[in-house]
A and B are shown apart, each in its own frame.
Chain A
Amino acid sequence: SQTIHQWPATLVQPVGSPLSLECTVEGTSNPNLYWYRQAAGRGLQLLFYSVGIGQISSEVPQNLSASRPQDRQFILSSKKLLLSDSGFYLCAWSVGNEQYFGPGTRLTVT
């Protein structure tokens, strides 16, 4: 069966610091991968999606970037965090229409 991992689970970072969140998927090949952000009381906002290694589509222009160095690895990065980057970051995978989410990383920027 498929499993998706995200780490870290929680993170507190100062404004202006860098960020790296990692997501890995097990049990499937060539999945579509996604990064979402969920602000408190809000819906999920799609940030990036990837259909293959090195292929990244950005949905929202901002100070975040994503990379997919391996088939089942997806990384979300920032060079300088803003207060507005706080939120619940979710990685998801799909093969077909249905998306399945990882456990998420709760990021607080102080």
Chain B
Amino acid sequence: QKEVEQNSGPLSVPEGAIASLNCTYSDRGSQSFFWYRQYSGKSPELIMSIYSNGDKEDGRFTAQLNKASQYVSLLIRDSQPSDSATYLCAVNLPNTGGFKTIFGAGTRLFVKA
């Protein structure tokens, strides 16, 4: 069974702090990794994709990938109350042409003003 595991949270951080969200995956051959943000009652929104080991930065967001440890993380710097949402980690299964993506159940983030 291919799995993507996330701590369900809630993760609570004060405004202005760094929020750290973590994800592990089971299929060692996976090559494509994504973070989605989902506000309550809304659909997921793609915020980051990462394909190579290391860090990828986009504004206040940094995605980190370690394929040897099968670990993906998302850092949110200067957290704002508007960042309060559920963050979904997603991993493409290898050898499926990118069609099969496994999603974690998500981590709820709460940023306190």
Interface residues of A (CB under 8 A from B): 32, 34, 41-44, 46, 49, 51, 57, 59, 88, 90, 94, 96-104, 106
Contacts and interface: CB of A to CB of B under 8 A. Distances in A.
Contact of A57 (B88, B98, B99, B103): B99
Interface string B15-59: 000000000000000001010100001111110010100000000
Contacts, number: 52
Contact of B43 (A51, A90, A98): A90
A100 B100 CA distance: 14
A99 B43 contact: no
Given A43-B103, A57-B99, A99-B46, 14 more contacts: A32-B99, A41-B105, A43-B88, A43-B102, A46-B100, A46-B101, A90-B43, A94-B98, A96-B98, A97-B32, A101-B36, A101-B44, A102-B43, A104-B42
Contacts of B46: 98-100
A60 to B, nearest CB: 12
A32 B101 CA distance: 13
A17 B26 CA distance: 39
A34 B101 CA distance: 10
Nearest to A106: B41
A79 to B, nearest CB: 26
Given A90-B43, A90-B44, A104-B43, A97 B98 contact: yes
B79 interface: no
